[in-house]
A = this chain, B = another copy of it.
Amino acid sequence: MDNIISRKTEDKKELKRQAILKAAADVFSKKGYIETSIKDITNEASISVGSFYSYFNNKEEILLQIFDEISNMSMNAASESSKALKDNVIEQFTTSMTSAICIYAKNKEFAKILFVKSMGINELFENKRTEILDRTTIYLKKLLEHLNTKHLCGIDNIEISSVLITHSIFGVITNWLDERLKCNIKDIISSLCTYHLKALNIDYTAENINKYIDNVLEAYYKELLN
């Protein structure tokens, strides 16, 4: 009996924590971490300052938890897309690229915080942020190694190339989020895939690429098709 009640309150707490996290992410993505005050967050979340501090120990912690949230999101997306590992390299490449981009396109606030608004503040954040972004690089490194041995794509420096691809992706997404690239998300994904497949010496047809992208979008990100 007691357990059920405490379970219920636990759930309630978690829900509220999530709500505050979302509110904070909204404000951070607009004003940036520095220019956002605790009052801004509590106003957005319609709670009191005191409440905020019963859910988070300080301002730093909420950004770190937002990072965790983002981290979880991209981890889940990655594992989701890798669950159905295809033997077709092109499909695999396109599918994972699409998943990675969509996860950020779907969570614009989180993406903006990760890619722009949390930079240059302090070492702690910089490390956490780097850690999250590095996952993409590590994933790509493994992929490139695989491609190099199995498909002779002839990449001489996998270390550098994986960083190169990672940042090209994040840079393009950032520009798209800022609406400096005024096109739809499919063009973004398609261009990125074809550009890099060419560089990786892998033959592809535009139709296939588009088909693979559509498959992912239809299955998981219908809301991005608007």
Contact surface of A with B, Cβ cutoff 8 Å: 31-35, 116-122, 126, 130, 155-157, 159-161, 163-168, 170-172, 174-175, 178, 180-181, 183, 187-188, 190-192, 194-196, 198-201, 206
Contact = CB atoms under 8 A, between A and B. Distances in A.
A14 B110 CA distance: 43
Contact of A121 (B34, B161, B200): B34
Nearest to A34: B34
A120 B122 contact: no
Contacts of A206: 156
A171 to B, nearest CB: 2
B160 A171 contact: no
- Identical copies of this chain, number: 4
Contacts of A190: 157
A90 to B, nearest CB: 15
A159 B183 contact: yes
A119 B122 contact: no
Contacts of A166: 171
Nearest to A157: B191
Contacts of A160: 172, 181, 183, 187-188, 191-192
Contact of A195 (B122, B126, B161): B161
A122 B33 CA distance: 10
Nearest to A120: B117
A206 B156 CA distance: 10
Given A164-B191, A198-B201, A126 B116 contact: yes
A163 to B, nearest CB: 5
A88 to B, nearest CB: 21
Nearest to A160: B191
